[in-house]
Every structure is written in structure tokens, then in C-alpha cells.
Amino acid sequence: MNNTENNNLYLPADLLSLSDSVICKVEVDLACWLEDLSGGKDWKLWSEVENDNSISFFLKQEDDDAEVTLYSSGYAIVDINGESVFNGDLIEKRTPGAKLSYYRVEDGEKILLH
């Protein structure tokens, strides 16, 4: 058996080490999330603007306008018709439709958690 060095757990070398770098990606179904937040259906993406640390999506639904800003830290702000309806961490607030995925930094391989 090929064991990792410098630990006392004797794990196989191909397992993820606690010292390995990992990317955590949060994915959100914006239309469904806005439906939950607003009670309105059929939100359509109007435009988007990407910055270094965030991406903002502008959506429309009949006479309503929404702005969703997602930050690389997992924080999000949602305004509907200029009124704040969500302001916080997507995971901490257990946002419906938010899904976490983990990837190895070295090769981009998805990490499956059981």
C-alpha cells in the first residue's frame, strides 16, 4: 500500500490531504431562487456584468426587475425593484437551490464527498 508521508493516519497517497488546496464552487439556479424570493415565475436574464470579485445578473419578470450580485466569497445580494430581499452568505443561510461542488486546484478534478 502506498502511504502518504508526514501523517499518522496512513491514508492512501491518492486521497485528498488536509493540506491540499481545494476550490469550492457555489452554483445557484437564479430563476428558481428569484421565484422563491418573489413569488413570481418566468424570470428572464436581461444582462450580466462581471468584476474581479463578483458577477451581477439583471433579470426581468413582467414589470419587475431584479439584480443578483454573487461574490466569489459565497456572499450574495438580491434586490427586487430596488428593495433588498436577500443579503448574506448563500451556504450559511441554506439558500434553496444553492449547490456546493469541490475541485482540486492542481488538476480541476471534481472531488466527490460521501
Instruction: Give the whole-angstrom CA distance, residue 26 versus residue 75.
Output: 10
Torsion over CA: 15, 21, 24, 25 (sign): negative
pLDDT for residue 109 is more than 60: yes
pLDDT tens, position by position, 14-68: 555 666 787 777 788 888 889 989 988 899 999 999 999 999 999 999 999 999 9
Q: pLDDT-derived band of residue 3, with 50, 70 and 90 as boundaries?
A: very low
pLDDT for residue 81 is more than 90: yes
Q: For the whole model, what pTM was predicted?
A: 0.70
Residue extents of the structural domains in the chain: 28-111
